[in-house]
């Protein structure tokens, strides 16, 4: 496998800055943020502070990529994954690029894979990190971990076949038998997060930004309806957050 020397981070928010700091401190990789327009202007030459240390991360414009990156780390919010953003992610890649999305939800790998090529996607999820973003200051008490997975259903298939396999994958996903020990493990992980930290969603609420609630609670509600499984507690929290968002 080709070595990873250059990494582009797409989304210089709480997670993007945390990983930019971690990669800069713990590897020889050259770390870049990728952005265009006002974001490029804001980030280019800027000093960001992560856990008390200053970093000046180079910034690449998607229209001015001289050679593909070895790794693209996607750290956007779900609603940022628009067609133009997906095109910009694609502009950072070449045939040997790996793409790692640490975004929450079930959709980002599919959307990015559709535009950039499913074969480039390394399926993964970030857990236990508690990254907070305030202006150019970023903090996290725990780096957490990235858990790598593999979904063979999403690679090497034509579109129709892939669609069927995605449906199969979803069925398999719903067939997973969650045990109470899984919930215990999740509670243990939550207990490792900083008491002074804020979830990504709380940060969005406080900043009066759109939240990702529709891909979390919204997705559970849709699946519950489809499978005729009542999800009243989920619906209560979902509707509370929807009302809070609409009152902003
Ligand atoms: N925060 C956490 O601890 C954790 C977060 N996650 C997940 O990770 C993902 C990222 O979360 P988080 O880092 O908190 O989110 P943030 O909102 O802090 O960061 C998202 C960043 O993406 C930038 N962005 C949006 N659109 C574009 C674009 N077109 N081009 C370049 N940059 C863009 C935003 O820029 P701008 O500010 O200019 O709009 C923002 O800086 C989410 O899916 C979240 O659920 C998962 C585990 C933990
Ligand atoms: C689970 C949690 C709270 C931290 O990993 C998270 O994913 C978030 O802040 O969005």
In this model, does residue 157 exceed pLDDT 90? no
Output b/e per residue, 191-230; b: 16+ Cβ within 10 A: eebeeebbebbebbbeeeeebbbbbbbbbbbebeeeeeee
Structure tokens at 22: 């971690």
Confidence of residue 187 (pLDDT cuts 50, 70, 90): confident
In a shared domain, residues 82 and 127: yes
Interval between CA 229 and ligand 1 midpoint (Å): 32
Tell which atom from ligand 1 comes closest to the C-alpha of 15.
13
Q: Quick one: which ligand is closest to 75's CA? A: 1
In this model, does residue 146 exceed pLDDT 80? yes
In a shared domain, residues 82 and 61: yes
Confidence of residue 169 (pLDDT cuts 50, 70, 90): very low
Q: How many domains does the chain have?
A: 2
What's the average model confidence in pLDDT over 144-173? Answer: 54
Q: Residue 91 maps to which CATH number? A: 3.40.50.720
Q: Whose CA is nearest to atom 26 of ligand 1?
A: 80
Interval between CA 109 and ligand 2 midpoint (Å): 18
Residues 114-138 pLDDT 10s:
999 999 999 998 999 999 998 889 9
154, 186, 203 - which closes a domain: 154
Q: Domain span at residue 171?
A: 163-248
Confidence of residue 170 (pLDDT cuts 50, 70, 90): very low
119, 154, 189 - which closes a domain: 154
Residues 23-35 pLDDT 10s:
999 999 999 999 9
Q: What pTM did the predictor assign?
A: 0.88
In a shared domain, residues 23 and 132: yes
In a shared domain, residues 167 and 229: yes
| Model pLDDT, residue 159 | 46
In a shared domain, residues 37 and 60: yes
Interval between CA 140 and ligand 1 midpoint (Å): 14
Ligand 2 contact, 104 CB (< 6 A): yes
Q: How far apart are CA 15 and CA 139, in angstroms?
A: 10
154, 175, 194 - which closes a domain: 154
């Amino acid at each position: 496998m080709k070595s990873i020397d250059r990494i582009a981070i797409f989304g210089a928010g709480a997670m993007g800055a945390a990983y930019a700091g971690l990669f800069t401190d713990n590897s020889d990789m050259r770390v870049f943020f990728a952005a265009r327009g006002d974001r490029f202007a804001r980030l280019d030459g800027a000093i960001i502070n992560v856990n008390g240390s200053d970093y000046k991360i180079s910034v690449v414009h998607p229209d001015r990529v001289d050679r593909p990156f070895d790794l693209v780390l996607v750290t956007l919010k779900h609603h940022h994954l628009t067609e133009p953003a997906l095109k910009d992610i694609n502009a950072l890649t070449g045939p040997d690029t790996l793409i790692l999305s640490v975004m929450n939800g079930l959709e980002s790998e599919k959307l990015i894979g559709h535009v950039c090529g499913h074969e480039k996607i390394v399926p993964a999820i970030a857990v236990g990190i508690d990254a907070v973003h305030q202006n150019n200051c970023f903090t996290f008490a725990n780096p957490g971990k990235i858990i790598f997975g593999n979904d063979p259903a999403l690679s090497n298939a034509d579109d129709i076949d892939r669609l069927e396999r995605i449906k199969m994958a979803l069925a398999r996903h719903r067939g997973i038998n969650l045990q109470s020990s899984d919930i215990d493990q999740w509670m243990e992980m939550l207990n490792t997060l900083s008491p002074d930290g804020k979830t990504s969603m709380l940060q969005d609420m406080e900043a009066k930004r759109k939240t990702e609630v529709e891909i979390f609670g919204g997705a559970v509600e849709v699946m519950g309806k489809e499978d005729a499984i009542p999800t009243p507690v989920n619906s209560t929290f979902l509707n509370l957050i929807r009302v809070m968002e609409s009152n902003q």
